[in-house]
Homo-oligomer: A and B are copies of this chain.
Amino acid sequence: MSPNRSGELMSCDPLDELFEAARGGNRRTLGKLLTMAEKGGEPAAMVSEQAYRGAGQARVVGVTGAPGTGKSTITGQLVAAAGASRPAILAIDPSSPLTGGAILGDRIRMDSHVSSSAFIRSMATRGHAGGLAVAVPDAVRVLDAAGCDPIIVETVGVGQVEVSIAAAADTTVVVVTPGWGDAVQANKAGLLEVADIFVVNKADRPDARGARRDLELMLDLGHRGGWRAPIVLTTATEGEGIGDLWAEIERHTAHLHDSGELVRRRCRRRREEVADRVELSLRDQVDQMIHSELGQAALNRVDHQELSPAAAAELLLAELNPPQPL
């Protein structure tokens, strides 16, 4: 089977061929597979299933934290520090809830730090957060099956959605800055419990050591058995501390393997993904129902306050789940 003149692969089993090409380092084909996986429908399901069979080898590192903490710079430099031949970055861009547009500022800033060998893919958080909970593991699996390693998933924000995406990595790095808040705030955002490694970035600021001390105190209080999240001070814009950070990631990777935690984590994630996928599908059904004639009629009655939102929801649910014949 050989590429035709336009560079497209022709095959009786084109998906096998596409994965084969991606594994061989064809970035365009890898991008195509990711696009197929994102688009949904039957082709996405086939890509997902094929990737599932080929994945499981890559180290998956999540980098998360509040906006403005310097995650993108750290992510770019980590890729260089890893010294791997086929690193990948999956950047989850928040998009506006109103316009759906992704903002590219960080990508532009990041590119100057990233070695040209890295495969970079941005995903916008379009539509429902639930969509991302399915799209991210799918994309990670495609990258994994294509031989990328390590895969760094960068997410912005400290909301629960972001926390759950970060938790989908094998190793989760949580970035804070001295100005970002005290340890109580880090705890409030649920970060203490998903962090395998803390980074205090912008460590050249005066209160960096105070931030480290606060985090240490919180870690003393909420100790998890077997692994205590180390705290690495970095000044990412200067490249300081990035080598230490990568060393801690490697130490955590070894811990995951040695302790059996890697198997347990991945098992838990797969279970969560089943529920996420069922939910996403039901949500699509809801969207269709809302846009149906019946749905629009119910919403019109809600507009005129003839029907409460709760009563309208009950009407629609009765339609989605008709009583089964005995």
A residues with a Cβ closer than 8 A to B are 45, 48-49, 52, 66-68, 93-99, 103, 105-106, 125, 129, 137, 156-164, 167, 177, 179-182, 184-190, 192-194, 267, 270-271, 273-275, 277-279, 281-283, 285-287, 289-290, 298-299, 302-303, 308-313, 316-317, 320-322, 324-325
Contacts and interface: CB of A to CB of B under 8 A. Distances in A.
Contacts of A179: 177, 179-180
Contact of A161 (B52, B96, B161, B187): B161
13 contacts: A52-B309, A93-B188, A129-B129, A156-B189, A157-B157, A160-B161, A270-B302, A274-B298, A277-B312, A278-B313, A279-B283, A282-B285, A285-B321
Nearest to A157: B159
Contacts of A282: 279, 282-283, 285-286, 317, 320
Contacts of A312: 274, 277
A274 B160 contact: no
Contacts of A310: 45, 48-49, 52, 277
Given A96-B190, A161-B129, A161-B161, A279 B274 contact: no
- Tell me whether chain A's interface is mostly helix, strand or loop, or mixed: helix
Contact of A190 (B94, B194, B274, B313): B94
A204 to B, nearest CB: 14
